[in-house]
Amino acid sequence: MATHHHEHGHGHDGGTAMREWWHRLRHRLTPHSHDTADKVDPALESSRAGMRALWISLAVLTLTACVQAAIVAVSGSVALLGDTLHNLADALTAVPLGIAFLLGRRAATRAYTYGFGRAEDLAGVVIVLVIAASAAASALVAVRRLVEPQAMTHLPWVFAAGVAGFAGNELVARYRIAVGRRIGSAALVADGLHARTDGFASLAVVLAAAGAALGWRWADPVVGLLITAAILFVLKDAAREVYRRLMDRVDPDLVDRAERALRLIPGVRDISGLRMRWIGHHLHAEAAVVVDAHLSLIAAHEIAADAEHQLTHAVPRLTEATVHVDPATYPGAEHHLRISHRIGAS
């Protein structure tokens, strides 16, 4: 991390001193709070948005799957069966996600001091497993039908079911992905990607119906296998998204934004450490900043408070920050002064 110094302390000029004085005065007068309760409403609102997305998509996909299942019963289409299984699996993934969002609303306890946001990441793992299971089921049925060909009937209905499946899945996918990215939920984004794959699978059903109309009995199981291959590609993307979240990966741009915000704070001479992690769809940060060694405890605390305040405003979905203050000159890491400022402690 490159060193970037601001001239503070005994050697700064009158203009710099005046800017620091004004910045600290504004910090005292500006209405804001470090109370955790002030962060509850945005957190609950993001959970409500996630739950709303889940229930709406559950209703749409369940209706789509029921209509397709009825057509599968009369047509015997393997491709449409695969599409129906995907839609049903996609609808059922709303259950673990809904449980995760509800758990995420619970307050932290003595045992779970970071809260229950990680339940959302575990739900992402369940979603990945459901996608894998639906791909396996689709492949098994398609291979059996390829070995034992069977004619497809009610082709116009199969065609219509494929078009309806694509429309329903794409609508749900756009909604889930948009809400997931807005509230920072990797699991909801993965679920949206799953729905998008099912939409393309529905278009493949249309191709299978067209092939059957031309007398190609092999078209239906072959398209079923192609659908399975498409699901495997989305499985890879969803698994990578969930894996990164479980490994505490964050977008480097967010780290850069946090670092820039810290360097602009009067009194901060350098940044000796910065870590960020996702807990559910909320971002947490820990930073260590270097200040002049001659500062009083109160002055150092004000800088820490200002740093926390600026971080939560500069970084999207950052709901908690811990800022450590180190003096610019210290003999060793074991002797340095460290002041922790958390939301709710001021």
Query: Which of the 8 DSSP states describes residue 107?
Result: P
Statement: residue 346 has pLDDT above 50 = no
Domain at 44, CATH number: 1.20.1510.10
Vertex 290 angle, CA 286 and 292, to 5°: 145
Residue 100 inside a domain? The answer is yes
- Which range is least confidently modeled, 132-146, 156-170, 176-190, 322-336? 322-336
| Residue 346 or 140, more confident | 140
| CB neighbour list of residue 253: distance below 8 Å, 6 or more residues apart | none
Statement: residue 30 has pLDDT above 50 = no
Statement: residue 33 has pLDDT above 90 = no
Vertex 149 angle, CA 143 and 150, to 5°: 120
Q: Which tokens belong to 228?
A: 């399975």
Phi and psi of 118, rounded to 5°? -65, -15
Residue 215 inside a domain? The answer is yes
**Judgement on whether residues 228 and 275 belong to the same structural domain of the protein:** no
DSSP, collapsed to helix, strand or coil, labels residue 106 as coil
Residue 183 inside a domain? The answer is yes
| CB neighbour list of residue 15: distance below 8 Å, 6 or more residues apart | none
Phi and psi of 91, rounded to 5°? -65, -40
Q: Across the strands, what pairs with 325?
A: 289
Query: Which of the 8 DSSP states describes residue 39?
Result: G
Q: How far is CA 63 from CA 71, 138, 333, in A?
A: 13, 20, 62
Residue 17 pLDDT grade (very low, low, confident, very high; cuts 50, 70, 90):
low
**Judgement on whether residues 242 and 202 belong to the same structural domain of the protein:** yes
Contact, 86 vs 134, CB < 8 A? yes
Q: How far is CA 150 from CA 75, 215, 221, in A?
A: 10, 11, 9
DSSP, collapsed to helix, strand or coil, labels residue 55 as helix
**Judgement on whether residues 124 and 183 belong to the same structural domain of the protein:** yes
**Judgement on whether residues 169 and 240 belong to the same structural domain of the protein:** yes
Statement: residue 150 has pLDDT above 50 = yes
Mean pLDDT calculated for residue range 302-330: 88
Residue 3 inside a domain? The answer is no
The confidence score (pLDDT) of residue 338 equals 46
Mean pLDDT calculated for residue range 58-78: 81
**Judgement on whether residues 203 and 300 belong to the same structural domain of the protein:** no
**Judgement on whether residues 238 and 161 belong to the same structural domain of the protein:** yes
**Any alpha helices (H) in 184-323, and if so which ranges?**
186-213, 219-246, 252-263, 297-314
Domain at 285, CATH number: 3.30.70.1350
**Judgement on whether residues 264 and 334 belong to the same structural domain of the protein:** yes
Residue 4 inside a domain? The answer is no
**Judgement on whether residues 276 and 190 belong to the same structural domain of the protein:** no
**Of 316, 310, 313, residue with least CA distance to 341:** 310
Question: Taking the CB of residue 218, how many other CB atoms lie within 10 A of it?
Answer: 12
- Identity of the highest mean pLDDT range in 16-30, 141-155, 313-327: 313-327
Tell me the per-residue pLDDT of 151-209, one tens digit each, with 9 for 90 and over. 667 778 888 888 888 888 888 888 888 888 887 777 778 778 777 777 777 777 777 77
Q: Could you tell me the residue range of the domain that residue 82 belongs to?
A: 38-246
DSSP, collapsed to helix, strand or coil, labels residue 36 as helix
**Of 205, 180, 176, 174, residue with least CA distance to 83:** 205
**Judgement on whether residues 131 and 209 belong to the same structural domain of the protein:** yes
**Judgement on whether residues 227 and 254 belong to the same structural domain of the protein:** no
Residue 72 pLDDT grade (very low, low, confident, very high; cuts 50, 70, 90):
confident
**Of 276, 275, 306, 310, residue with least CA distance to 291:** 306
